[in-house]
Amino acid sequence: MIQPFDSLDAYERAMQLSVDDPEAFWSHVASQYSWIQPWSQVLNWDFRCYDVRWFEGGTLNITLNCLDRHLSDRGEKTALIWEPSDPEGASRSFTYQELHSEVERTAAALRRQGMGKGDRICVYMPMVPELAVVVLAIARIGAIHSVVFGGFSAHSLADRIADAGCRMVITADAIVRGGKILPCKEVVDEALTNCNGVERVWVFRVSGSDVDMIYGRDVDAHEEISRYSGTGGEAEVMQAEDPLFILYTSGSTGKPKGVVHTCGGYMVYAGYSFTHVFRAQPGEVFWCTADIGWITGHTYLLYGPLLQGSTTLMFEGIPIWPNPDRFWKVCERHSVNLLYTAPTAIRSLMAAGDAWVKPYSLNSLRVLGSVGEPINAEAWQWYHREVGKRRCPVTDTWWQTETGGILIAALAGLSPLKPTYAGLPLPGIQPVLLDAQGEIIEENEREGYLAVRFPWPSMIRTTWGDHERCRQTYFGAYPGYYFTGDGARRDADGYYRIIGRVDDVLNVSGHRIGTAEVENAINMHPLVAESAVVGVPDELKGQAIYAFVICKGDPQNPDNIRAEITATVTEFIGKIARPDKIQLVPGLPKTRSGKIMRRILRKIAEGDVSQLGDTSTLLDPSVVDQLIRGRI
């Protein structure tokens, strides 16, 4: 286990060492984990063709570090607590020993299904403990997990299964959340009618809903696993650079891409960042409210806390159901020490009124974290005052699916608190701000593009099946740097404030959605000729989705068309990508070369039409007035 820095001095010394001698620095961090065979080379890197390799020659299995390593002195301590969506339902908990044996049995059963090293297994499940167990079991046998968030539609799921070439899908009968029962297995069935290659589907019966089982393909997962003891569930020996998982995320163009993380580097950075940012001690109860279907759930619900021997809490429900005090009830019920959630949740709880949180003393809480989108000052203050009772440091953590772990944050309880600033880079992280020409901005208090100039262990290795796309996206824009897609500014103390995406990626309630993806889905409607999607600021969601749509012919019933377009987006992506507003328009502001001027669309959508800037380069400037008149 890693000891968190005990002072800002210690942090600064580590920072200095990480710059002066990165290999010595990371070698020291990595040596605090158990390796089957030590590495022979700490780092090999080249940002031009994009090749980064960490801890080569080393072999390991992340689950040995998450589970086995704790058995001798923490075996009886709680590894995982599960809180069901139903507040009257019984919670479940697993000691490290119990979680270890569940994972071993599941790993043995997976092996008997013929799964092994390098096979891709898709996981499409609700937030039940079985989800955590299967993800760890997949890692244990050296297969590659691709977890798909349960809110994605059958189409999205099919695309991801096909792209990764999955041989197996693990799912559940239904998703129980916030008083509703949502389909899960049915979505998998539908997805699999559109893609080949899946030989086996495991179904966990967690809700008691009826499901159709397809003979020869579908297997009752509990029944299957119950036939195995731990024998056969031994950890596979993995090379440091073998892939651990694929996680799909949206970019500014095309379909979502499969971000690949590797066994060694990801493990080292997940544990390292978890420990230092939250200054977590073994035994503390950590509650990350994210779904395991997102990177935050991977790194800080599952791997990070288990690497550090903490107790991780997994919640099946949503913050405001049955009432907006559910979060605080859960915190008290399980004596949560560290709470890690998203600004969108904080804002919705704040909007529900202080009366829901005031009655709770929340005195087990020690640290509050925020992630996923910029946190506005009001939400920060409320979180600090009403939830943390002015006792708990708030750490705003900036990172991405591609970074694998938190890169910039306030170190809880050490760094001075600055609302709306994510904070300082972790030692080992070398961020820079670049101007439009790709020159480093040395002065402070200026805005620039956030990039990183030196590798860190958990950085994206490739996008599955398309390395050139990875190189282009992250290393093509500013040669020699990893480009984040975010804009930021740095103050005189070196604190970073994240401004938001500078590309065509939206952040809706902390969910990352590409405008191109939403446009493609809208265009699937047979009456749509063309569309353009922009984000507009939204008090609760951070950003809302505003779509401008050109229909073929004159739409007879605009309300119907809008409803159908919404249904089409739900069908092709999922509810999270539904446009908040759809404006039917006669044309779009395009340049003579056919490029849509999104800057103008953003202004119109925001209702800020006084300064539209130069519209003279438009092919048909009159379209702008029509759009303004038709604004909704």
User: What residue ranges bind ligand WTA (CB under 6 A)?
Assistant: 249, 294-296, 371-374, 396-401, 422, 484-486, 498, 500-501, 507, 512
* 192 vs 426, beta carbon nearer ligand WTA: 426
Residue 410 beta carbon to ligand WTA: minimum distance, rounded to whole angstroms = 10
- CA 263 to CA 284: how far, in whole Å? 25
Q: What is the residue type of 439?
A: E
φ/ψ of 532, rounded to 5, equals: -145, 135
Question: Both tokens of residue 150?
Answer: 């349960």
* 462 vs 484, beta carbon nearer ligand WTA: 484
Residue 379 beta carbon to ligand WTA: minimum distance, rounded to whole angstroms = 12
| DSSP element (H, E) containing 16 | helix 8-20
Q: Residue length, the chain?
A: 632
* 362 vs 576, beta carbon nearer ligand WTA: 576
Residue 297 beta carbon to ligand WTA: minimum distance, rounded to whole angstroms = 10
* 142 vs 150, beta carbon nearer ligand WTA: 150
Residue 397 beta carbon to ligand WTA: minimum distance, rounded to whole angstroms = 5
- CA 312 to CA 284: how far, in whole Å? 8
Residue whose tokens read 């640290």: 367
Fill in the DSSP letter of residue 577. Answer: G
* 311 vs 401, beta carbon nearer ligand WTA: 401
Longest dimension (CA), the chain: 74
Residue 428, exposed/middle/buried by CB under 10 A (0-12, 13-18, 19+)? Answer: buried
- CA 472 to CA 456: how far, in whole Å? 19
Residue 396 beta carbon to ligand WTA: minimum distance, rounded to whole angstroms = 5
Residue nearest ligand WTA by beta-carbon distance: 401
Measured between its terminal Cα atoms, the distance across the chain in Å is 55
Strand 78-83 relative to strand 92-95: parallel, antiparallel, unpaired? antiparallel
* 137 vs 408, beta carbon nearer ligand WTA: 408
Residue 192 beta carbon to ligand WTA: minimum distance, rounded to whole angstroms = 26
* 55 vs 382, beta carbon nearer ligand WTA: 382
Percent helix, strand and coil across the chain, each rounded to 5?
35, 25, 40
Residue 505 beta carbon to ligand WTA: minimum distance, rounded to whole angstroms = 7
Residue whose tokens read 């000891």: 3
- CA 544 to CA 255: how far, in whole Å? 20
Total Cβ atoms within 10 A of residue 575: 12
Residue 97 beta carbon to ligand WTA: minimum distance, rounded to whole angstroms = 31
* 218 vs 396, beta carbon nearer ligand WTA: 396
Would you list the DSSP string of 435-451?
A: -TTS-B--SSS-EEEEE
* 398 vs 464, beta carbon nearer ligand WTA: 398
Instruction: Return the ∠ at Cα 344 (arms to 340 and 348), rounded to 5°.
Output: 105
Residue 296 beta carbon to ligand WTA: minimum distance, rounded to whole angstroms = 5
* 373 vs 519, beta carbon nearer ligand WTA: 373
Residue 279 beta carbon to ligand WTA: minimum distance, rounded to whole angstroms = 18
- CA 421 to CA 294: how far, in whole Å? 23
